Structure 1
């Protein structure tokens, strides 16, 4: 089982028209960590979510959604705090811009004492969805505690997913990113993330630094240009993007990560030792599959991640 940890929220898409007295809103479930959980569930893998969930309208919808998508709720922590909302506006190219309503919200309020002392034996991997929960206290401390507790036993993956509009101090992000990278076997960030964190640095240099910190595999997604990856064994690849009519890119990076994790699990390669033995062909196959999966999400509204049939995959044997 995968355990996804981090943000869970509603993306609220705003549309304006000639009537300036109204804004039409459409809310869709999102959050980097929850999107990754959704992607894994839709690809047929057992997955649970760890975080606080509100008892407000949005929180009840989140629980119903998890039930409908077969995301295990055993690790959820109930709270009366409100659900995080992300107001989304789209550029002409479908690239989202976010304004967050996060003050005192549920997913930002997990405390270290609420981290389970021991995870169930069936949990084989922890995915940290990143975003504001990894730099906002107390949830950041709770996630750090969980990773420190389990990093020597479980496969850890991490997606920084920078949201500087919530925590503007990029030095805070840099410290936390370095901390989580050092504990993770697999790390993925977007070129936009890297441009914010490390302006004027080459992508390859950053990936090399992350590998030197401890990551077994470091990946950077580049939108329509595809993705780059570097393994701790020194193998590097660059995979082209897939042409698609873009509706929006919401959830594309989370799809990419879920696809990587899914393939590693199905190929029996979800370990540091396996990643260290990757050849160029192995790495190109992994990144290429993730690129194709992300392209499916780009052709849909919101974080509507693909199922196995969407990717031409047979059902997993049970």
Structure 2
């Protein structure tokens, strides 16, 4: 089982501008929430470890996860409100996020809740803003407990509009790299945290810190990935007519994890032994999945049959 950790929330879009305001629509979301659903749709049913409110939004989030086949057995159900995030799309469909919330349900997860997570989990995925605000203590405790037992996957998913302290993100990445087996990060995240550092250079830094497989998504420029044995390989982007890029990174990571899991490669030893052909096959699958998400509005992640039909 892959356990996905972090926030579940509602993304709020402005569908239309009215004379005195906006017509809004609210959709289930949050990077870890999206990733968990992506895994389920791609044939690898996961568990979700994150605070799900008992309010109407939280009930909808929980019902959606369960309907998609995500196990909620280790998710706390605090009484705090569900966080809301506005999504502002630019002319290219690239989103900017603004969080409305503070003492919200996704933050009300403590170290005592870590006992809910099975110790025999195949993989633990952490990332997004819950690694720089509470429940960071609980997630760090979980990573420390599971390091060497489960594969540890990490996607920083930097959102400076949600947590503006750049140094908090840098500290989170520095803490995670020596504990991470599979790292996925975007070139935008690297540029935001480490100005002047090229993606290839960051991959070398990550591998030097102990990461087994480091992947950098570069939008229209494709994907870079490296392991200590292979060095760095590059894959071009999958051509797509972009509607928006909401959920693209979550889709890529879900697809990569699912491909590795379905091929019996979701272990540290298997990542250490990857050959170039296998790595390219995994990256191609993940890139095709992300392209499908970019071709439709919002984080509507693809199902396994949809991706396989493009290969």
2:159 to 157, 163, 166: 163
Matches within 5 A, 1:169-208: 169-208=165-204
- TM norm structure 2: 0.96
Q: Aligned-pair RMSD on alpha carbons? A: 1.5
Q: CA shift at 1:235, angstroms?
A: 2.6
Q: CA shift at 1:211, angstroms?
A: 0.9
CA distance in 1, matches of 2:304, 2:15: 32
CA distance in 2, matches of 1:178, 1:222: 21
The answer for the alignment partner of 1:316 in structure 2 is none
Q: Are 1:113 and 2:112 an aligned pair?
A: yes
The answer for the alignment partner of 2:82 in structure 1 is 83
Aligned partners of 2:230 and 2:276 also within 8 Å = no
CA distance in 1, matches of 2:166, 2:218: 21
The answer for the alignment partner of 1:255 in structure 2 is 251
CA distance in 2, matches of 1:162, 1:181: 15
Q: Are 1:13 and 2:13 an aligned pair?
A: yes
The answer for the alignment partner of 2:125 in structure 1 is 127
The answer for the alignment partner of 1:99 in structure 2 is 98
CA distance in 2, matches of 1:117, 1:105: 20
Q: CA shift at 1:20, angstroms?
A: 2.7
Structure 1 runs of 4+ off > 3 angstroms?
none
Aligned partners of 1:236 and 1:280 also within 8 Å = no
Aligned partners of 1:235 and 1:278 also within 8 Å = no
Partner-residue secondary structure (3-state), 2:296: coil
Q: Are 1:285 and 2:281 an aligned pair?
A: yes
CA distance in 2, matches of 1:299, 1:165: 25
Residue 118 and residue 168 in structure 1: after superposition, are their counterparts in 2 closer, same or farther (change >3 A)? closer
Aligned partners of 1:235 and 1:279 also within 8 Å = no
Q: CA shift at 1:109, angstroms?
A: 2.0
Partner-residue secondary structure (3-state), 1:76: coil
Q: CA shift at 1:84, angstroms?
A: 1.1
CA distance in 2, matches of 1:181, 1:293: 26
Q: CA shift at 1:166, angstroms?
A: 2.1
Aligned partners of 1:241 and 1:291 also within 8 Å = yes
- TM norm structure 1: 0.94
The answer for the alignment partner of 1:146 in structure 2 is 142
Aligned partners of 2:119 and 2:149 also within 8 Å = no
Post-superposition CA distance 1:133-166 (Å, at most 9, x none): 00103x0010000000011111110100001112
Aligned partners of 1:102 and 1:108 also within 8 Å = no
Aligned partners of 1:246 and 1:298 also within 8 Å = yes
CA distance in 1, matches of 2:112, 2:25: 36
CA distance in 2, matches of 1:312, 1:153: 31
Post-superposition CA distance 1:88-124 (Å, at most 9, x none): 1111111111111131111122111221176154x21
The answer for the alignment partner of 2:234 in structure 1 is 238
Partner-residue secondary structure (3-state), 1:45: coil
Post-superposition CA distance 1:55-100 (Å, at most 9, x none): 1111010011012101111011011101111101111111111111
Q: Which runs of 5+ in 1 are unaligned?
A: 314-318
Q: Which runs of 5+ in 2 are unaligned?
A: none
CA distance in 1, matches of 2:119, 2:160: 34
Post-superposition CA distance 1:25-62 (Å, at most 9, x none): 11111111111111110011121100111111110100
The answer for the alignment partner of 1:73 in structure 2 is 72
CA distance in 1, matches of 2:240, 2:183: 25
